A and B are shown apart, each in its own frame.
Chain A
């Protein structure tokens, strides 16, 4: 390139630049630039034509201003004019301006392309080079369209200068990279390959870059390049030849070219031709040999050049993976680098060894360096090198050294950098699983892992350990013991609690024989961690507790106590609350058989690809884990998928349980659905969206979630259907008892329905009016009660009346049941209520004197005729209220009978169709203790008892 002569120095430009550099502030700089721009505008505007020199100068200034970050919106035309100049410097500045500032401005592009075309067809090599550089620098699609056909011709033409060929090759490479579709293969391709033999260093280097890129897309077209490249390489490498000896760099002949050739060869499989292959192997051996030789120079450039070739050669050897001899040698060579002073070399060595370790030929050779690598992991100062060391350890691990490597990695984990911890944890987990000979070792390792780096143990890791423990009978006892011991540490990680909860819940019985780990001890240990855990873990622990109830019935009361306390059963978290309520109910209403089936041990997990391995793959990207490992991973498949209750087995058990319910049909599903959500709330509440939802997912739970009831309504269903006998009637009990001493009022009320009652009794007969009020605005359909037919449609807001006649045949204690069914918005509503008909309703008051009373009292002196109860007052002790209540009872309140005026005495006869039953009552309030003593004597023992029960709730 001709140097810019002194006459072309452009003083104005230099002055302008120094002015700008001397500006004290940004404002001053902008002022100077504005002034200069105005000057240039006036010059370009000027009527007289500018000479080439000043045009060049001003374009240069504009370029400089643009590079300072200001917008330039003129001067393009002048720059294009410069292109047609015959002076090199003017042309050069023109092209420079165009390459920096050109945009897809249509008219200018046409002019520029024209100028480029002229230059390309000129015989001047410097002009051609300038044009080629401009095309490559702009590299736009328009340029490619215009010149993609032209450049290959220049490249392969016989009479083109070497420097132009070099530029043309690089220019074509650039165009190919931006728009590969426009660069068409043709007869020039075969001739391009022959550029490999060109004598000009620049041409060969540029051509190799082009061929490497092209052959990646069209390997067949450029197949011939392999033999050419091999012969060229051997000529450079072997000391006998004198090819390109002028390009020796610090005693290494043509290092860049050698590297590029080796890289080109990596695009192709090993040559089939024996001779070519022999030659290549010879070359590679020579390179390896040279690496052994003492360095010819102490300069770093020498060793860099040498090592660059060596690493490319090793990469090629690994790529071929067919020469055991070379592989082993390469491995040994890298082993030397492992202890090299240069950090970069150590890094590269570790990285290359990682790939070597996966080759069957060199795996053993790599293994010999284990001590060095472990040392590197511990002592290396650069974290990226340590990371490579960890990768290599992972790659070289097999059955023979797994224990050592896992132990080393575990011990390193305590001090490892945070950035690589998670990956290390995954690797340890995978290695431990893959090479576990005995599973107790595996369990130990994973628990250690959780202990050391709990925060970095992802969900998958502990799911996996549970999968394996569940699937392996032999390890369950050991796992329970170890986990129990691990949990005894004062501070243990939440993941440990999860594993502990799960395993003890399943297999706690295996260690319960030992008094040190008796059921209660186990439970207390788990529960001591409960309050420190997050919601998902707590949910899991609750499930563990219910499992405990099944495993150890003796813990039932303790656990029920825990479940019943407000912090569980009224927890603000819906998931926890639901679990607590359901488990409490389940444990109290279900028989041991039912419990045993519902809470049966988890079935083995299906064998599937290890979820951890999948996670590592995702982390490292495809290719990081070789296919062999994947297959091995599949060997131990299976997944933890929510600790669900076995469906088929729980179905019949629900049938048993349905004896408790009034409408058995929907119950099993409802129970079922809620049971599937016992563990891993993510399957239901989505409170912890797991990144591996597909792994964790609901695949095996799919039939369950296909059930028509939506998850949201579970709670309601379980309440209203599973335990109506207990729950609904329980609600109604309150209302029922209110009616002992009165005849009118509201019996039942919820959001939908209100039931009011009016009743009157005479002798043994009674009449009751029931009012069903629809509180909603929607009509109830198919409304029916068990008593009498009523209008099946109840309009929104309307009231339906029903009259019942009652006759008391004989004494009774159970109240009649009223079942109400209707459909509200498509959902079947089912209510079961006790009608407030009690025995006392049929009282006839009997007035008698004190003497009579005590006489009769004494007559009824048999023990079964008397019922007595001492109870605490529920309401304030107001004499008038008490009187009113006793009168409401239906008996006669007798004054002046009892010597103590505080006491109340009543007498009455109950009228039934069969007989009349006399009753005497004595109520002794104790105002100080807020207690009552109630004594009832009746001619029939059952009546006395029943009345005593009813009345004891009233005061």
Chain B
């Protein structure tokens, strides 16, 4: 179990330290040894530490970095690393929900709150309820307000009850529901256009403003469900939907989803938390719609010159618009000068990043654009050849590259008098680039 949790700034100074177990502080110096060990071996390490888990003197350090802030969980025991990281991410979510961006400034301003949270969400190193909605009922930023006996008992029953993520008696005049499908598409392509690896990792994020204790049911074009229905129902529908259904490789759900029901019927039913939360996470690897195709052309002209030509093609419906497109073309380390010509957008040589960055604000589907650059090189006495790192790309498109479609989201609330039709529902699809690279 987690022995302690430390938050450092970029200099390696400890902003928050909370020790849950004595074992991390055995010996002279106590837990400060552990604090220093992480600072010296990870934050101030000569080489950048890439592993998120570091083992120093039989003590394990699990860290995540948010902007310039390091969160490190420390333990002497053989804990489940995935659990620790899940907790650390959850911790980041909770902090973001309470005071916005995680920055040194914000942490310093909220350190009483953070200690309060840490007391609540970890007990003797065991993670407890870390649901923001639930936490917000009893850890507030409004100062201390003495609670009545009923309120106290209500909190107790809620925290210890079966549905810890939603309190009772929520009331909205307008019952509204927002559903975002956020996907990031990852690609590695060979110079000849062969897909070497591609996958989409997606999240379904919901924002619910519903009264009472509603029961929701979420449906999407999951291949297994569609096939099952196709067998049971009309055959013509099966033929039609078979094309549109997607194969989900793996998925995880928010704790509110009834897993037993998902296992038996593969239906996603749940009582939603109030406010914003992530309903599910999934990953697909088959039949991915690649929104852009990058065609590189690199020619070395002697020892001191390099010619680069890159063509990008958008590959989706012409009615849709991709946004925030950025192509990053790496340049050799001995570049001494660059001339760029591009048809669309703006391109610039960024010496500090050793790359040419080409930005296009908007681009419709089924279009093509091109950039060409001449790179001058300085002859060096280094015999090493340039490694030719891949060309990477960033973009945002208004559809789900995995092909996921929301088929329905039904809301049932038997006690209050509103029905599924009264709920206003919004659905949005956003596809972003993850690591979208093409070798050159």
Contact = CB atoms under 8 A, between A and B. Distances in A.
Given A76-B381, A105-B381, A31 B353 contact: yes
B194 interface: no
A25 interface: yes
Contacts of A24: 10, 68
Contacts of B337: 42, 45
Interface stretch (A33-41, A763-771, A818-826): A33-41
A32 B336 contact: no
Interface string A625-669: 000000000000000000000000000000000000000000000
A851 interface: no
Interface in A544-566: none
Interface in B375-423: 376, 378, 380-382, 384
B352 A42 contact: no
Nearest to A25: B10
Contacts of A42: 336-337
**Which of B48, B334, B381, B384 lies at the interface centre, i.e. has the most chain A CB atoms within 10 A of its CB?**
B381
Nearest to A105: B381
Contacts of A108: 381
A45 to B, nearest CB: 4
Given A44-B336, A74-B334, A76-B381, A34 B352 contact: yes
Interface string B355-378: 000000000000000000000101
A74 B381 contact: yes
A45 B46 CA distance: 31
B382 A73 contact: yes
A74 B48 CA distance: 25
Nearest to A42: B336
A799 B354 CA distance: 88
B304 to A, nearest CB: 8
Interface string B329-358: 000011111000000000000011110000
B290 to A, nearest CB: 30
A38 B335 contact: yes
Nearest to B383: A73
Interface residues of A, number: 20
A789 interface: no
A158 interface: no
Contacts of A73: 333-334, 380-382, 384
B217 to A, nearest CB: 46
Nearest to A24: B10
Contacts of B380: 73-74
Nearest to B10: A25
B378 A74 contact: yes
Contacts of B334: 41, 73-74
A755 B203 CA distance: 81
A69 interface: yes
Contact of A25 (B68, B336, B354): B68
B336 A31 contact: no
A106 to B, nearest CB: 11
Interface in B204-220: none
Interface string A75-94: 01000000000000000000
Interface in B11-59: 46, 48
A45 B303 CA distance: 13
A34 B378 contact: no
A915 B68 CA distance: 116
A21 interface: no
A441 to B, nearest CB: 43
Interface in A38-88: 38-39, 41-42, 44-45, 69, 73-74, 76
A41 B378 contact: yes
A296 interface: no
Contacts of B384: 73
A26 interface: yes
Contacts of B352: 31-32, 34-35, 38
Given A24-B68, A45-B376, A73-B334, A34 B351 contact: yes
Nearest to B104: A24
Nearest to A69: B46
A560 B333 CA distance: 85
Interface in A106-125: 108
Nearest to A39: B351
Contacts of A25: 10, 68
B386 to A, nearest CB: 12
**Which of B10, B46, B351, B382 lies at the interface centre, i.e. has the most chain A CB atoms within 10 A of its CB?**
B351
A24 B103 CA distance: 13
A34 B279 CA distance: 43
A241 B352 CA distance: 67
Nearest to B11: A24
Nearest to A35: B352
A38 B336 CA distance: 6
Contacts of B351: 34-35, 37-39
Contacts of B46: 69
Contacts of A105: 381
Interface in B237-273: none
A32 B352 CA distance: 6
Interface in A345-364: none
A32 B48 CA distance: 17
Nearest to B47: A69
Contacts of A34: 351-354
A62 to B, nearest CB: 12
**Which of B46, B333, B352 lies at the interface centre, i.e. has the most chain A CB atoms within 10 A of its CB?**
B352
A38 B356 CA distance: 13
A35 B353 CA distance: 8
Interface in A96-153: 105, 108
Contacts of B378: 41, 44-45, 74
Contacts of A26: 48
Contacts of B376: 45
Nearest to A73: B382
A46 to B, nearest CB: 8
A41 B337 CA distance: 8
Contacts of A45: 336-337, 376, 378
A381 B17 CA distance: 37
Contacts of A35: 351-352
A447 B380 CA distance: 74
B354 A41 contact: no
A139 B258 CA distance: 75
Nearest to A71: B382
Contacts of B381: 73-74, 76, 105, 108
A22 to B, nearest CB: 13
A44 B337 CA distance: 11
Nearest to A76: B381
A108 B382 CA distance: 13
A7 B337 CA distance: 30
Nearest to A34: B352
Interface string A3-43: 00000000000000000000011100001101101110110
A725 to B, nearest CB: 61
A39 B48 CA distance: 25
Contacts of B354: 34, 38
Contacts of B335: 38, 41
Contacts of B48: 26
A246 B68 CA distance: 58
Nearest to B304: A45
Interface of B: 10, 46, 48, 68, 333-337, 351-354, 376, 378, 380-382, 384
Interface of A: 24-26, 31-32, 34-35, 37-39, 41-42, 44-45, 69, 73-74, 76, 105, 108
17 contacts: A24-B10, A24-B68, A25-B10, A31-B353, A35-B351, A38-B335, A38-B354, A39-B351, A41-B378, A42-B337, A44-B378, A45-B378, A73-B381, A73-B384, A74-B334, A74-B381, A105-B381
Given A32-B352, A34-B351, A74-B334, 18 more contacts: A24-B68, A26-B48, A31-B352, A34-B353, A34-B354, A35-B352, A37-B351, A38-B335, A38-B336, A39-B351, A41-B335, A42-B336, A42-B337, A73-B333, A73-B334, A74-B381, A105-B381, A108-B381
